[in-house]
A and B are shown apart, each in its own frame.
Chain A
Amino acid sequence: MWSYFKFEFKQFFTNKKNLAIYFLLAFATFFYVFKIAPTYNPIESVEYEEIEARYLTRQEFLDHMEGQDLNDVHPSVIYAIEIFKEVNPVDKKRLDALDEGDLKKYADVTRDWYYFTNSITYRNEAFSYNSKYFIKNNKYAEDDAFYAYLEQVVRYDTYSKADYELSLEIFEQRTALQTFERLLKGVLPIILIVCVLLLSIDIVKKDQRHRSILKGFPISDWKKLLVKMLVALLGSVGLFVPLIVGIFIIGLQSGFGNFNLPSPVYVAHLDWRVEGKFEMMILGTFLEQSLILLFTWFIVIINIVLLCSIIFRSEMVNFVVGLLLIFGENFYSSRYVGYFWDVQYYPTSYIQVGQIISKRRNFYYMNEHLDFTLGLQLLLGLAGVVIFLMILISLNRRYKLIK
């Protein structure tokens, strides 16, 4: 058994295709670290000029209206005066805090600012969210901004109570761990899962080239398959090596961050009074749960490939089946579809690992049932069924792994 493991292990890591995948992933990581990460420009950034311009404009208006007779002006002027009187002192405090360099105080007042601004802006025609949300002709810009503002409230609330040192990098989510968090909510899970698919795609098929050597191993077929699964899993852990190097470089550039930073979770109740509530979760928990779910996906993909390999014996079929599973969500995913369909019962709905944990996916689908535990159960169940089928087939006496 051990010698077979060593044999498979050596074959896996000397396979030119696999080395190419590791190499390309490393290359993509460096491209990201040096080229894309520095151009990251969040919409909700700490921008002194913007706050100042808004503050001065409104203050001038207030000064102008001071002491005037308001009896025959348009009601919206009175409305504006009321609102500006509330929000302007907050903007002033934000500016003062930035001037003093007191980031804790800035976090404290910024939380109030986001909360108040959101409450006057959402579904209100008189005010509008930051124009950057609308640049890409986004139909759902208002919803996205609503989500972002409330998330910022929770973030800044945690910062204001933080016992670690704050920095502008932390506020704008530029630190290494926060970059990893953003990537997990984006395209990274899909890239990694596709890499695992490509790594394991020929793990059974390659045996055809070494028939005589393999027949020398006195191990039953199902044990061989399990060893192959283990090797592929170890190989997929290897995918994290270039990523960790990349994260380390980003850490040197803009700070590492820490595991106690906030990573808010959307509370998906469909009750309109508590619509858009966020709860606090620390970054450590987010990363832990994301990695568990991601790793479960690795197991599922590897087992699906193994099952397909022993049934169809064609790399192309493995590839197509794997891609269908990975991109299956795209066939039904669209905004708010979860309100009408039970998307939570399809394992494919859980491919966007980071968005599942932070429940942004729930907001996107408008569905309250998608969550970590259900996803884990579904995926593990799927993996269990596939492993069971695989062993059942390979225990069949007429079946031979190597023909």
Chain B
Amino acid sequence: MLRALKVGLVIERANRKNLVVLVAVVIIVFGFMFYINAQAIGNQIVEKKGDYYSAQVILSKFQVKDALETGDGSDLYKNLVKQKSHIALQIAALTMDKQSMYYETSLQLAELRQEAFELEGYENVAELLPSKLQNSMDYLYFKRMIDEGKDTISDLFQYMPFLLFFFVHIGAGWYIFISFHTSSILLDDFEHASIIQGFPVRFDYYILSKCIIAFLSIVTSILLIFICAIPLWIINGLGNPLEPVGIYVGKATLISTSQYIAMSVGYMMVISIFVMLLSIILNVLLKNMYLTLFVHFILFFLPMIFPSLISLIPYNPFNFMNFNDILRGFPLDLAKPVDITMSLGLIMICISIILMLFVIKTFFTTGKISRA
């Protein structure tokens, strides 16, 4: 066992692919920084201006009426006019740098939107407004900020906020990244089948050593993400590791930034193991890197292209691969909402991992390895 690991490590050390993977991680992290900068993401004023024009677009569907409490406009119309003036107030508060006023206004806005969901005719204007779940997360966030008496706004170019942004957006990308990384996990050795067959190690140990090595390089990639973002820490400071983030776990809840990051890393590792084992099975069955990738992609993208599949088969482990979407409560916004959470996903993925381990242990032996 140990010998297999040692030999494998020596081989992998010379594999240029690992280096490419690590370079790709570095490029992606720095690419994110440039992207945030170029798109002015996190620039609250720019975003609120967008919200303001959205409100204007929604209001263009209504005849202008008296929006006072006693006025003759519909309730929804009055509500939307108030929303618009609150957004204007948000912009004003941000421009004047009055953070506490910004939080108060935002909380009132979230309350207004909460009321709007119940009003008649809401479905006509729902398109440009946040969903119910999103709004209740916003509500919780701003309430917490006011309760704690915060008067600062987090800057995405600080260490923790940047990492949070990165992990919130990494979801789908991680599966693709790992499937590229592991798509030829056994294939290089198939080229030299006679060596493997002559190797005095049991097949399951051989697979295990392969997995451990691949897992090590994945862990290195994750560590590299944290390392690459350190310049931000040095330049702009750490940021607040306890800044709350809204997630969905059966109901809308707040957790801290560091908790969210830790959770993401955990999910990413479990997903990596899942993908790795699937790659091994596909490698042995198909003996081709491209075909392996295709099968990966089809399984992964099918629920994304046809979201009704998620409602139809809620326990499909591939629904949970895009973990950020599940944490955001995306399945609740589907045409046919399903209530699935990431803890269920974790169970499903673990069951699949055990099943796949069983399949590999029982059905695959060294005899299966022959030249592609």
**Any chain A CB within 8 A of the CB of B2?**
no
**Any chain A CB within 8 A of the CB of B60?**
yes
**Any chain B CB within 8 A of the CB of A135?**
yes
**Any chain A CB within 8 A of the CB of B251?**
no
Q: Is the CB of B294 within 8 A of A23?
A: yes
Given the known inter-chain contacts A16-B288, A27-B301, please indicate yes or no for A134 contacting B63, CB distance below 8 A. no
Q: Is the CB of B305 within 8 A of A30?
A: yes
Out of A34, A49, A134, which one reaches B61, CB within 8 Å?
A49
Q: Is the CB of A34 within 8 A of B62?
A: no
Q: What 0/1 readout, one digit per residue, does chain B (328-347) give for beta carbons within 8 Å of chain A?
A: 00000000000000000000
Cβ–Cβ < 8 Å partners of B306 in chain A: 34
- The segment out of A54-62, A177-185, A321-329 that lies at the interface is A54-62
Given the known inter-chain contacts A16-B290, A31-B301, A34-B306, please indicate yes or no for A136 contacting B50, CB distance below 8 A. yes
Cβ–Cβ < 8 Å partners of A20 in chain B: 290, 293-294
Q: What 0/1 readout, one digit per residue, does chain A (305-324) give for beta carbons within 8 Å of chain B?
A: 00000000000000000000
Q: Is the CB of A57 within 8 A of B305?
A: no
**Any chain A CB within 8 A of the CB of B53?**
yes
How many residues on the A side are at the interface (Cβ–Cβ under 8 A)?
A: 26
**Any chain A CB within 8 A of the CB of B354?**
no
Q: Is the CB of A131 within 8 A of B305?
A: no
**Any chain A CB within 8 A of the CB of B46?**
yes
Q: Is the CB of A57 within 8 A of B288?
A: no
Find the B residue at minimum CB distance from A35: B305
**Any chain A CB within 8 A of the CB of B134?**
no
CA distance A53 to B54 in the complex (A): 17
Q: Is the CB of B60 within 8 A of A53?
A: yes
CA distance A50 to B58 in the complex (A): 9
Find the B residue at minimum CB distance from A57: B64
**Any chain A CB within 8 A of the CB of B297?**
yes
Q: Is the CB of A137 within 8 A of B50?
A: yes
Given the known inter-chain contacts A16-B290, A19-B290, A20-B290, please indicate yes or no for A53 contacting B57, CB distance below 8 A. no
Chain A proximity of B283: nearest CB distance (Å): 15
CA distance A49 to B58 in the complex (A): 11
CA distance A54 to B50 in the complex (A): 22
**Any chain B CB within 8 A of the CB of A132?**
yes
Interface residues of B in 271-321 (CB under 8 A from A): 288, 290, 293-294, 297-298, 301, 304-306
CA distance A137 to B51 in the complex (A): 10
Given the known inter-chain contacts A23-B294, A30-B305, A34-B306, please indicate yes or no for A54 contacting B288, CB distance below 8 A. no
How many residues on the B side are at the interface (Cβ–Cβ under 8 A)?
A: 24
Chain A proximity of B181: nearest CB distance (Å): 17
Q: Is the CB of B61 within 8 A of A50?
A: yes
Given the known inter-chain contacts A16-B290, A19-B290, A56-B63, please indicate yes or no for A134 contacting B53, CB distance below 8 A. yes
Chain A proximity of B347: nearest CB distance (Å): 29
**Any chain A CB within 8 A of the CB of B3?**
no
Cβ–Cβ < 8 Å partners of B49 in chain A: 137
Given the known inter-chain contacts A16-B290, A56-B63, A136-B50, please indicate yes or no for A34 contacting B57, CB distance below 8 A. no
Cβ–Cβ < 8 Å partners of B70 in chain A: none
Q: Is the CB of A132 within 8 A of B57?
A: yes
Interface residues of A in 301-360 (CB under 8 A from B): none
Cβ–Cβ < 8 Å partners of A52 in chain B: 63
CA distance A60 to B124 in the complex (A): 24
Cβ–Cβ < 8 Å partners of A19 in chain B: 290
Chain B proximity of A303: nearest CB distance (Å): 27
Q: Is the CB of B63 within 8 A of A60?
A: yes
Chain B proximity of A142: nearest CB distance (Å): 13
Find the A residue at minimum CB distance from B293: A20
Q: What 0/1 readout, one digit per residue, does chain A (51-78) give for beta carbons within 8 Å of chain B?
A: 0111011001000000000000000000
CA distance A137 to B293 in the complex (A): 39
CA distance A137 to B52 in the complex (A): 11
Q: Is the CB of A54 within 8 A of B301?
A: no
Cβ–Cβ < 8 Å partners of B288 in chain A: 16
Cβ–Cβ < 8 Å partners of A47 in chain B: 61
Out of B46, B53, B290, B298, which one reaches A132, CB within 8 Å?
B53
Chain B proximity of A83: nearest CB distance (Å): 16
**Any chain A CB within 8 A of the CB of B152?**
no
Chain A proximity of B302: nearest CB distance (Å): 10
Cβ–Cβ < 8 Å partners of B365 in chain A: none
Chain A proximity of B35: nearest CB distance (Å): 15
Interface residues of B in 61-112 (CB under 8 A from A): 61-64
Chain B proximity of A343: nearest CB distance (Å): 23
13 A-B pairs within 8 Å (CB atoms) are namely A31-B301, A35-B305, A52-B63, A53-B62, A53-B64, A54-B60, A56-B63, A131-B53, A131-B54, A131-B56, A131-B60, A132-B57, A134-B53
**10 smallest beta-carbon distances between A and B, as pairs:** A131-B56, A56-B63, A57-B64, A49-B61, A135-B53, A134-B53, A53-B63, A131-B53, A20-B290, A131-B57
Interface on A for B, CB 8 Å cutoff?
16-17, 19-20, 23, 27, 30-31, 34-35, 47, 49-50, 52-54, 56-57, 60, 130-132, 134-137
